[in-house]
Amino acid sequence: MTRAVPQEILDALTDVDMPRLPPEASSSEAVLLAGVELPVYRAGCVVVGSGAAGLRAAVEMKRRGDDVVIVSQSAWGGTSACSGSDKQTLHTANTADQGDNYKAMARAVRSGGAMDEDTAYVEAVGSSRMMASLQFLGLPLPQDPLGGTLRYQTDHDDVGRATSCGPRTSRLMVKVLAEEAIRLDVPFYNQTTAVKILTEGEGADRHVVGILAMRASDRTGQNPLGIALFVSGVIVLAAGGPGELYRDSVYPNGCFGSLGLALEAGVELVNLTESQFGIGTRREGFPWNLSGSYVQAIPHIYSVDAEGTEHHFLAQYYRTTQELASNVFRKGYQWPFHATRMLDFGSSLVDLAISSETAAGRRVFMDFNRNPLPVPGDLPFSLERLDDDVRLYLGKAGAGQDVPIDRLKHMNPLAIELYRRYKIDIAAEPLEFAVNNQHMNGGIMVDTWGRSNLAGCYAVGEAAGTHGVTRPGGAALNAGQVFGTRVAEHIGASGRAKRPATGDKSGIAEAGVADLLSALRTESPLTVKSIRSAVQSRMSEKAGIICDEQSVGKALIEARKLSAEIRADGVAYGRAAEAVRGVQWRHMALASEAVLSALDFFIRRGGGSRGARAICDPQGESIPHASAGLLEQYRFRREREAHRDEQIVVRLEGDEIKLSTRPNRAVDENAKSFFERDWPAWLTGRIYDLGANE
């Protein structure tokens, strides 16, 4: 019997209203630079981004008495506030009855390889504190009658460390953190896009002195582009991932991240080869991940060709109806594509099949009013004929209803309610979807305190490249909260953000403004539209889930050529708003070149197939099977074990992208703390590893 949840509860967990931003503080200072009169804002620290990770960093800094401001392209408009899934996951340490402990969680978090062991342990041990603090702020995580947190299994998770507030978990996190930031009087500067990091010094002494931003509210006759100078010796990059990098993407529109911004400033990036791809609805409508109960309800999946004919295409890949239905279900907790799961008729064969249909020009749908059609010649679908793990899960969930929509209503009515808010009734009509880019696992290289190689520059959330090849679902939300706190602790210990920055940085800022203006040309043949089309089509078609050495190499040549043309000709703009996008697409073209450079470097060094992609190769050792036989065109290389122990580092020197590798940082699991011995390091601040340039 379906459990009825009152409509007002569904409404509260689906329609999450965000707080009103406080009035912005005006600039009391101006400076004339490169012929432009710029307003000057001063802060101890500037946090770039108003998502869950950036808000956590700002809140924790303010609590420690630091002077901090938040600049945001669009407050409450990023991935934290606008993205999710069926019951969006928060991944934290579980209780001992599941055999859990922090070391076990750390091993699980880093199990995909190419992740620092110390970072994994920091995320694990910080998860309990993070969850408790969110609950203190009012995040409604579900509990049992004795106060235990309700849990379930998620991607790359064998223990069941996942919990959720429903499809809007990260938005609810943003809400409670934003309310706390406003209560603490953290200043917000909205509609403010960071466009250039300003630095001074050379070599190891180079450090942050501020940021140039573009703000609609600062546009004047003397400053038509609204360029503003934020003077600060500390910045935290928390602007999320490069959502605009791919055409086939589940990111909200307008998510650019800060990878290009960071590269231009000499910040090193890492693991750019590693992303997550999975099924979701297209960004042209309502972008949303179709993991969890959407597929655990086992809807019928089919495609439609240009003539309107339906195709039961999954039946060409799986041998039996039971095998087909069971692997559709497994996409719930094996949601991201993984090359090895294409083998042995696994769940990523679903992704491959969907991607192939889309590439052939067919539209793909899931129908919650139909059970999967039978594989020709086999028995029809039955809940009694499913693999053991699937039958056990549905049995425990009480999801024995006859049709998928009723199973979904029983397991997760919020999943249906959410789409209704966007005028899509999946109870009445099929849902169109595709395989999309969803998350960048790489990003800015940081240490265990969130520091980059540029003194004064920190990174948290998806901007930080901490995740490695794979991660348990929801581990990213946890990492952003843990490292938001770690960054605040480190900045607080350094004492560098206690008061607004002082000093005259006009010379450095003027060079930055001149560089910015030279990159924007009213007469350039390169438009935002043309750059966007070139970057997104190239990334989706040549750097998606199926890659090969020749295609990636050719794509890299094209990306380098585009970057060179942008340097030579600039980016065209008409209105001032287009100038902001022009700078962002310059950064995105550079980020695309960096990703393709890392991917080409990885493949040419013999890199094999793993979390993000299958590297197809006629000499590859692995071949997916379909019901009709071998899929020889998708023969792929296996991952080399040695590559799990290292990370690819990317940096920009002049106009050239340089690549190198470094080993994962290790942690000694046998090392034990001792109170009397180790307490002085805490009392004196030695644990923060403060260098001379801090």
Secondary structure of 635-687 in HEC code, one letter for each residue: CECECCHHHHHEEEEEEEECCEEEEEEEECCCCCCCCCCCHHHHHHHHHHCHH
DSSP secondary structure string for all residues of 429-479: S-EEEEEEEEEES-EE---TT-B-SSBTEEE-GGGB----S---TTHHHHH
pLDDT (tens digit per residue) in 616-674:
999 999 999 999 899 999 999 999 999 999 999 999 999 999 999 999 999 998 988 89
Instruction: Dump strand ranges (E) for 178-234.
Output: 188-189, 192-200, 207-215, 227-231
Instruction: Dump strand ranges (E) for 292-385.
Output: 300-304, 310-311, 363-367
Residue 483 · residue 460 · CB < 8 Å: yes
Confidence at residue 9, expressed as pLDDT on a 0 to 100 scale:
78
Q: Which amino acid is at 154?
A: T
Dihedral (Cα; 506, 509, 511, 512), 10-degree rounding: -170
How close are the terminal C-alpha atoms of the chain, in Å?
Answer: 61
Residue 340 · residue 620 · CB < 8 Å: no
Confidence at residue 95, expressed as pLDDT on a 0 to 100 scale:
66
- With a cut of 50, list the residues of the chain below it in pLDDT: 1-2, 692-693
Q: Tokens for 384? A: 């009694």
Q: Tokens for 564? A: 């060179």
- Cβ count within 10 A of residue 533: 12
10 Å CB burial of residue 562 (0-12, 13-18, 19+) is buried
Confidence at residue 243, expressed as pLDDT on a 0 to 100 scale:
94
Look at residues 648, 642, 530, 645 and name the one whose alpha carbon lies nearest to residue 589: 530
1 alpha carbon, distance to own chain's centre: 37
For helices 475-494 and 117-137, what crossing angle results, to 10°? 90
Q: Give the global pTM.
A: 0.95
Q: Tokens for 509? A: 């800022």
Confidence at residue 168, expressed as pLDDT on a 0 to 100 scale:
87
Phi then psi for residue 378, to 5 deg, are -110, 175
CA triple 208-212-215, angle to 5 deg = 145
Confidence at residue 2, expressed as pLDDT on a 0 to 100 scale:
45
- Cβ count within 10 A of residue 184: 13
Distances (CA, A) of 455 to 262, 370, 459, 512, 654: 13, 57, 12, 18, 19
Q: 36-42 and 29-33: which strand pairing?
A: antiparallel
Q: Could you tell me the domains of the chain? A: 29-207+226-274+441-508 (3.50.50.60), 278-436 (no CATH), 519-663 (1.20.58.100)
pLDDT (tens digit per residue) in 100-135:
789 989 999 999 999 999 999 999 999 999 999 999
What is the C-alpha separation between 386 and 394, in angstroms, rounded?
Answer: 10
Q: Give 260's DSSP letter.
A: H
Question: Which residues does 312 contact at the CB level (< 8 Å), separation at least 6?
Answer: 302, 373
